Amino acid sequence: MSQAAGGSGPGPSGPGPLGPPSQESLGARFQAQRGWWSRFGDSALGVVVKLAALAAFIALALAMIVRMVSLGAPMWAPALTGLATLGIVWVYLGRGKLPLKYLVPGLAFLVLFQLFPFGYTIYIAFTNYSIANNLSYEQSIERGIAESMQTPEDAPEFSVTPMIEPDDLEQGEIALWMVDEEDDEEFLGTADGLQPAEEVDPVVEDGEVVEAEGFERASLGDAQDRLEDFEELRIPLDPDDEETGEVRLVTLSRASVSEPTRQFDEERDALVQIDLDTGEEEAVYPADHDRGFFIDPDTGQRIAGVPGWRTWIGADNWVRAFTSETIRGPFLQVLVWTYIFAGASTLLTFALGLGLAITFNESRIKGRKLWRALLIIPYALPTFLTALIWRGMMNRSFGVLNDILPGQIPWLVDPTWAQFSVILVNLWFGFPYMFLITFGALQSIPADLYEAAKVDGAGPVGRLRRITLPLLLVTTAPVLLATFAFNFNNFNAIFLVTGGNPPISGAATPVGHTDILISYTYRIAFGAGGGDYGLASVVALVTFAMVAIISVFAFRYIRPLEEVYQ
């Protein structure tokens, strides 16, 4: 009776219908709703899968560590990789670390794709890394010796037969069957060195070797198809001593021994030029570790044909960027133009988008839904396609714009017109987005405010200035900030329309009048005449600093705006 009147005492099978459920009941319901797949992690199969995933991760980490060591990476790199691997294994094998198990993947991606590239860019900015200095010191020595190979007049010659792996005629490994007719010896020559005939069990038919050590004699057609590979094949006489010489192909039937005319002297830390006929020193080229080159002492310049190596040069790139007149002048010009381009693009797209949004928000306009749909077309088309179309339309000689307009306007040739052109094209790209944003924001402004303003005698301009813009900026100010930051790094609008041109004369780096910082960085690093990765990293870091400063100040002003109009 007491239970029927409102009691909640438990019955034989659990809690009463009106009382709070017990912990056992909640657990039972939760397990019933989870299903078998959600208990997968608690099953034996789940444990096996977890262990297998961790084993695969450990194997990948070990492979990366071995690769780092083999490439001569600094010891801190494999050590840090090993410690990170142990930490991840400790997190996922232990109990009571549930938050870390969710945080670790995100932190790993943050480090790999954000912090590491940023840190590496900072490191490159303080080095001489470039196309001319892209090797390690040891690799530079090897290339210096390899590029000095010459064939002496009395060099041994061999008659050869091209050999190819039969399973892959186009990409397979190649070799040469070599016969030393003077000493009556035969060898199989590969990139790993020479192997005497008795070690490779050659198969001979009609007095010619047709197979040896997994290679088969190449037909004339197959050898011609791989001629470039055979010409690049280098067979060392002694793989452990690169100064003993190597065998190179002369024709498809002849090869000869080439010897290096340079040797490396560890005591003098220099490359030494040797006369092959007399064995005497001709010149000594000491290593300049400040510049990363082997230097000709007579001229003080790097020796030709020997690539340099990467080395730490401190703030030299920064000093060069801000003190060299041929770099500083164009750099400051690009910096100013970047602000003008980003600011003009943001304000013009916002103004045009807002104007169209206000216009087509008017209910008296017929077919406004159709017009609104048509305005989205520039936003829907691929940027790379429409940018090239605009570039063709602006061609001075054949462009449709000069066919329509009077005169021959130098859209992409004259510096001022080229800057106007990229802003115009970027306006075409950006106004549909601003139209969508502002049109949606206008719907949130109460119509009563406009009615009250009309009663007070406010005209269209007054209502725009006192009602529309203040309330609109509450929601669009962050969008405007993001748009400015985007245009600050709007590579496509510049690269596809003008390529940064027309060029700035007298500059030490490849740079044009329409280049912004991001395209300037690209041209320094990868453009024609570029390849200076250290200087490009300096410009990239300056770009990052500019965007960061703008963002900090902008958010500082946006926050009070939101508080006032909320």
pLDDT tens digits along 434-464:
999 999 888 888 888 878 888 878 887 888 8
Q: How many angstroms separate the CA atoms of 76 and 225, rounded?
A: 46
Reduce the DSSP state of residue 421 to 3 states and report it. helix
* Average pLDDT score over residue span 171-197: 89
**pLDDT value at residue 498:** 94
pLDDT tens digits along 292-344:
999 998 888 898 888 999 999 999 999 999 999 889 999 999 999 999 999 99
Exposure string over 302-321, b if 16+ CB within 10 A, otherwise e = bbeebbbbbbebeebbbebb
What is the strand order of the sheet 270-274 is part of?
262-265, 270-274, 281-288, 293-294
Q: Are 139 and 298 in contact (CB under 8 A)?
A: no
Q: Are 195 and 187 in contact (CB under 8 A)?
A: yes
Got the DSSP string for 427-457?
HHHHHHHHHHHHHHHHTTS-HHHHHHHHHTT
**Range list for CATH 1.20.58 in the chain:** 42-125
Q: Are 387 and 428 in contact (CB under 8 A)?
A: no
Residue with tokens 């030490």: 508
Say which CATH architecture domain 42-125 belongs to. Answer: Up-down Bundle (1.20)
State yes or no: pLDDT of 253 exceeds 80.
Answer: yes
- Residue 64: pLDDT band with limits 50, 70, 90: very high
The enclosing H or E element of 216 equals strand 215-217
- From the list 292, 293, 296, 294, the residue with the least C-alpha distance to 283 is 296
- Pairing mode, strands 254-260 and 149-150: antiparallel
- How much of the chain, in percent, has pLDDT values that exceed 90? 43
The enclosing H or E element of 101 equals helix 98-110
The amino acid occupying position 321 is: A
Reduce the DSSP state of residue 548 to 3 states and report it. helix
Q: How many angstroms separate the CA atoms of 276 and 366, rounded?
A: 91
**pLDDT value at residue 561:** 57
User: What's the mean per-residue pLDDT of the chain?
Assistant: 85
- Pairing mode, strands 270-274 and 262-265: antiparallel
DSSP 8-state code for residue 349: H
- Residue 188: pLDDT band with limits 50, 70, 90: very high
Distance of CA 102 to the CA centre of its chain: 28
State yes or no: pLDDT of 42 exceeds 70.
Answer: no
Q: Are 179 and 158 in contact (CB under 8 A)?
A: yes
Q: How many angstroms separate the CA atoms of 115 and 464, rounded?
A: 44
Exposure string over 49-63, b if 16+ CB within 10 A, otherwise e = eeeeeeeeeeeebee
DSSP 8-state code for residue 14: B
State yes or no: pLDDT of 258 exceeds 80.
Answer: yes
Range with the largest mean pLDDT of 15-19, 367-371, 415-419: 415-419
The amino acid occupying position 466 is: R
Distance of CA 111 to the CA centre of its chain: 16
Class of domain 323-565: mainly alpha
Residue with tokens 């958010």: 555
* Average pLDDT score over residue span 112-121: 91
**pLDDT value at residue 421:** 96
Q: How many residues does the structure list for the chain? A: 566
Both tokens of 4, joined, read: 């029927």
- From the list 52, 49, 70, the residue with the least C-alpha distance to 60 is 52
The amino acid occupying position 24 is: E
Q: How far is CA 384 from CA 58, 486, 491, 497, 515, in A?
A: 42, 16, 11, 9, 17
**Range list for CATH 1.10.3720.10 in the chain:** 323-565
- Residue 24: pLDDT band with limits 50, 70, 90: low
Q: How many angstroms separate the CA atoms of 211 and 428, rounded?
A: 67
